[in-house]
């Protein structure tokens, strides 16, 4: 692929990603995208085959970015586990701020196979990064002895899910990023050795 074609492809992904992440993708038509981009539908078909192909590309790219950033944070042993968990919370807040509930609902309802892939990769990230940090924190005495590490991991993940519930967050005067940071602080203090 020539540099010009690659740039055009990346421009389509970036524009569609912004639109899909804010409005969801089910009700955004290819006509909407081509009007935003001032390109023809055939250009989208050339690169992605279909709107579904474009959605798939965006979801996989998102999952790859999540994996990459979590790998960076997790591997940064110059910082304590507590600091790395806070960095993850800040990152989660940024991601949550950019992904609308509508996008996630569209993914779950209209692209269930892609939703399953996204969730499968989420579970892999949990095993690879979150579990590692919980185990490292337990070994460093961050958590009180005797807590089951699997329980701590699942507790933290369930606490983090609260941020995705708009019926709860609509009544809390904080951003999603602040909520994630608060969850980490409550989690650490409540399980501290």
Instruction: For the chain, give the percent of residues with pLDDT over 90.
Output: 59
pLDDT tens by residue, 14-35: 999 999 999 999 999 999 999 9
What 3-state class would DSSP assign to 172? Answer: coil
The pLDDT mean for the chain works out to 91
Q: Is the pLDDT of residue 152 over 80?
A: yes
Say if CB 9 and CB 91 are below 8 A apart: no
CA pseudo-torsion sign 180, 185, 187, 188: positive
In angstroms, the CA 92 to CA 86 distance is: 10
Residue 155 token pair:
């507790």
For residue 120, what pLDDT is reported?
Answer: 92
Domain boundaries, the chain: 3-191
Structure confidence by residue, pLDDT tens digits, 37-53? 999 999 999 999 999 99
Q: What percent of the chain has pLDDT over 70?
A: 99
Average pLDDT over residues 73-102: 91
Q: Is the pLDDT of residue 97 over 90?
A: no
Q: What's the CA gap between 64 and 21, in Å, rounded? A: 16
Which two structure tokens, joined as six digits, stand for 187?
A: 């989690």
Region 145-166 average pLDDT: 85
> At 193, is the pLDDT very low, low, confident or very high (cuts 50, 70, 90)?
low
Average pLDDT of the residues in 141-164: 86
Q: Under CATH, which number does the domain 3-191 receive? A: 1.10.357.10
């Amino acid at each position: 692929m020539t540099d010009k074609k690659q740039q055009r492809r990346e421009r389509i992904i970036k524009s569609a990603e912004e639109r899909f992440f804010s409005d969801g993708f089910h009700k955004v038509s290819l006509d909407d995208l081509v009007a935003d981009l001032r390109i023809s539908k055939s250009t989208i078909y050339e690169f992605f085959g279909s709107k579904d192909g474009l959605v798939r590309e965006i979801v996989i790219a998102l999952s790859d970015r999540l994996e990459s950033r979590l790998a960076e944070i997790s591997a940064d042993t110059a910082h304590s586990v507590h600091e790395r968990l806070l960095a993850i919370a800040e990152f989660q807040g940024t991601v949550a701020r950019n992904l609308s509930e509508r996008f996630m609902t569209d993914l779950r309802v209209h692209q269930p196979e892609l939703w399953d892939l996204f969730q499968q990769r989420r579970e892999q990230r949990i095993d690879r990064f979150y579990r590692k940090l919980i185990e490292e924190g337990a070994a460093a005495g961050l958590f009180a002895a005797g807590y089951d590490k699997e329980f701590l991991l699942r507790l933290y993940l369930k606490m983090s899910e609260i941020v995705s519930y708009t019926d709860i967050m609509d009544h809390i005067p904080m951003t999603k990023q602040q909520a994630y940071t608060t969850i980490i602080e409550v989690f650490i203090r409540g399980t501290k050795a």
